[in-house]
Every structure is written in structure tokens, then in C-alpha cells.
A and B are shown apart, each in its own frame.
Chain A
Amino acid sequence: MIEARGLSKRFRDKKRGEIRAVESVSFRCEPGKIYGLLGANGAGKTTTLRMLATILEPTDGTALVCGYDIVEQPEKVRASVGFLSTATALYPRLTAQEMVEYFGRLNGLDEPTLKKRVDDIFKRLDMDGFRDRRCDKLSTGMKQKTSIARTLIHDPPVMIFDEPTLGLDIMTARTIIAFIRECRDLGKTVIFSTHVMSEVEKLCDVIGIIQGGELLAEGSLPQLRDKYAERDLEEIFVKIVAPHYVQAEAS
């Protein structure tokens, strides 16, 4: 369960002054459901997700992740969150197995549990063929699988995906999509950001549309279709975002 309450993030930039990356965003993600954060580049998706994962500290507001406050109990939040993005790097000189084990240990798993979980995950993701290969020798797809295994090792109840399919080929992207669905079926709370409409249509139970750091619309796909009298999500998205997009350009 994720509950964002007025999350805001402002950055200071020498040239541009104060930048409002995220402005008082509030939403709820329920267990067993996928929440899709849809927005253009620079809309504030990544900043929002990073605040939820305690990588960034909010300027204002807070969020509860599994009942833990991201500002006051960041360690508890981190233990209950799995964070995956395409930018997630692996340690090049560790093997896939060592990489996953490392994060398992950091998350406080004892050795027998860790061994069992590693075997289980490697089997499930079909990774046994390259478990002893160094990460710098892996293909992009293998690397992505290793990243997934890393986020899963401590069996977190909340999964955060930041543009997880960005720059991946169709086969690898499908693995990720299948994996996100699996997380939902396991009853995990899933939030993910993207600007690929088809992914949102396929996956999301609830869609939040974000632009200029503000959450402009929220609801399930049928709800949004009714409200904006459009069938195509892309059209709905443009209808919602376009006025604000022009505004942002002008200012």
C-alpha cells in the first residue's frame, strides 16, 4: 500500500532559480493493483517515484509505504520496497548470483533463506544458465533479469518501476511486462511510470496523469474514457496534458 500525501519536490538551479519538479501530489495505490504514472518527459514521474523509494527527500508533504513514513522511517520503507528502472546499474565484476545475494544480505536475509530464495528466483526467471557469469559479460536482457532478481530477493510487498522498458527490445520488454503482472497477481502493490500508452492500457488498474509536477487526472481507464469522451488513451492524455504543456513552454 502506498499513500502519497501532498508530495512536493523543489530544486534550486543557479540559472533557472527554483524548479518545482513535483507539486503537492497525492494518490493511493492498493495491494494487488497496478498504478500507472503517465507523463511526458520531465513531468515529474521519476522524481515522485524516487521520493517514494527514499532516494530523494520530499521538500513538502510525505507518503506512507506499507504504513511507514518515507521521511521518518526511510530504512523500514527501503526494506519493503523493490525499485527497478532501466538506469539501474549492476556491479560489472560480480556474477549475477553474487549481485543478487549481495542485495539479499543487505536486506537482512539469513543464509539459508537467501540460498532458497536465490534458487527459487533464478529458476523462475530462467537465469540458471548465466548465474555464474560476470555482469559485464551479460546481454541487456540478462542484465535486466538480474536487476529484476535483485529487486525481488527480499520479497518486498511494494514494487516501484521507473520506466522499466525504456530502451529495451520487444522481447525483453515483454519479460518485464509479464513480471509486473506477476507482481500484481502475487498481491503486491505496484506503481510504475511510463510514457508508453500501450503498456498502460495493457497493465494499469489505475492511471495517474502527471504534467509539470502536478497530478492532473486520475482513475481507471474506463473512468477516464467516460470523463473525457474519448476511447483512445493517447487522445485522452493529449486532451489533459496539452493546455498545461503549452503553458509550461510559454513560462
Chain B
Amino acid sequence: MKTNFVSTLAIQSALRLTVQRAQSEMMDAQTEAVTGRHADIGLELGASSARNVSLNRDVERMRTIIDGNALVTNRISSSQNALDQMAGSAQQVLDTLISMVGINDQGRLNVAETTVTTALENFTAFANSSSNGEFLFSGVNTDVKPLAGYTDTGSAAKASFDAAYLAYFGFTQNDPSAYTITTTQMDDFLTNQVEPLILGAGWDTDWSGADSNVMTSRINSNEVIDSSATINADGPKNMAMASVIIMEMLATPLSNDTRQVLAERAIDYVGQAISGIDFQRAELGLSEQRIAKANESLEIQIDLMSLYIGELENVDVYEASTRLTTLMTQVETSYTLTARIQQLSLTNYL
């Protein structure tokens, strides 16, 4: 038995497998050098592919949250802007009222009434502002106009007030008998008749189409914030209260003392309105700050995860291209060898 025997077939096929494998590795190395990632990530990572896939999903999700946060931020800043304007209207009412203390001149009273009416109309317009087709202050009822206009024809709130006035005093607002209304009566009327209509149950029926629940948004994988304001809050209610009693009664033939009580009460309401609106602004500001913080932490997480994903699926491009070069040399050598070995035959020398 020959120990060193080599069959011609073995010589011919010896380099075949090497060349075959080198060529398929060359293909992979080429892909890796160009893309910077493993040519077949699954094959390379095996069971760790699950982690890789999960990380990629998480990164995508966080990007989506950041995109969603942009929408929420947009809504909140629009709300902030509108609330700013609303607070401005309230401030205007307050200024007017303070300048009117102790003044009983009918002409100036009429001017004051008009100013307050305009202020409430402005207030109403801003309360009904919308962004992206959603009413900002409707709570979750984003498709319903939140605040009904008091000065609109057929206003339910106005009808309710008129009815309450007539029922309590027995005459209408501009009736000369209004002169007979005492300060106690006025106090009682405001507290027990008008307050329920505006600050109490009457708000939902006559004034507001909004929902008391504000919109909530998830701004992080584990944080949910309030992302809108509603008109069903103390600020807007008190603003309506102050404006309505001024519009309806300031310029009527009241006695000076009673008018004084009315004005003082109105100043009190509007003061509460301003602080209420400021409170809402502060709350939204807090939410804005939470979003900024959330985005910051999301960005950091995305960076970290991308780094880890990179470690899993990226290859060293230089290594890949060096490998490609080595493989090319190898294949070329193998070609040359094959050709030369094929030429080696005794036949050539016979």
C-alpha cells in the first residue's frame, strides 16, 4: 500500500473548496466594507439577534415619543400663548374696574361697560382658539367649541341671568326701580343667584362645552403628563362672573352704595380669575419643563442604545477591507497555483 499516493482528482479538487469559501467570504467582506455592518447580522449574532431587534424597536419607539412630544409641546405653547392673552383681558377688566371705584358718572360707566364687554369677547375668542384642528381648552372634548359667547344672540347664559334677575328683584336691569336695591340684596343676589349660574352648575349647561378632564400624554416610557388646559377651571369661571355682573349691572340705575358693592365684588372675582389663569399657565409650564427633561433623557438613552446596537451589528470597516484584500490575494494565489499544478504533468515531458 502506498502511503504517499495522491490521486489526480484530489489534486484537481484540493483548491476548489478553498477558492469557493474564499469567494463567498469575499462577497461578505465587500458588503461589510461598504455598509459598515455585518453582512448577515443574524448569522453573526445568533441568539443575541433578539436583543439587537429589541434595541432597535426601543430606539424607534423613543424617536416616535420625541416626535409625539413635539406635537404635545406645540399644543402646550399654543395654550400658553392663548392663556397669556386671556390673562391680559382679565387684567384689562381689573384695570378698568379699579379706575372706576367711586365713580358714578353715567357716561364713564357706559365706557367701562363697553371696555369689559370687549375684554370678555376677546377672552372668549382666545378661549376658543384651536391648534391642529383641536380646540385647546376643551379638555378631552377636542372637537367641541369650549366657551359659548355671552354676547352672541340667543345666549343661554344671558337668558339665565335675565331670568334670575327678574325673579329675584321683580323688574329688569334697566328699570328705574333698580335704585331701590340695597347692598345686602345685591350681596345676596350675587352669592346665591349668580354664583350658582356661573361658578356652579350653570357653567356646564350655559357656558361650557368642554370636558373637565384635560388631555394626558405619555412623554416617556413611564411618565404621563397633563398636556392641555380646560375652560372648566376657576380662572375662566371667575372671569365670566366678573364680566357678566359688570356688563349687566354697572351702568344700570343702581344706588351709589350698591354699585360700590358690585364693583368691589367684581374686582374680587377678576382678581381670582387672574390668579386662576396664572395657575393654569404654571401647570402647563411645568408640563413643558417635563417634556424638555423627557426629551433630554430620551436622547441620552437613544445615544446609549445606538452605541450598543453599533457594538452588536457594526464591523470595523478597515478590518473588513483589509480582509477583502487578503482574501483577494489568497484567491489569486490559489488561481495561479491551480493553473501551475494543472500544467505539471509527465505528459508534457514525453
Answer yes or no: do A and B interact. Answer: no
Binding site for B on A (CB under 8 A): none
Binding site for A on B (CB under 8 A): none
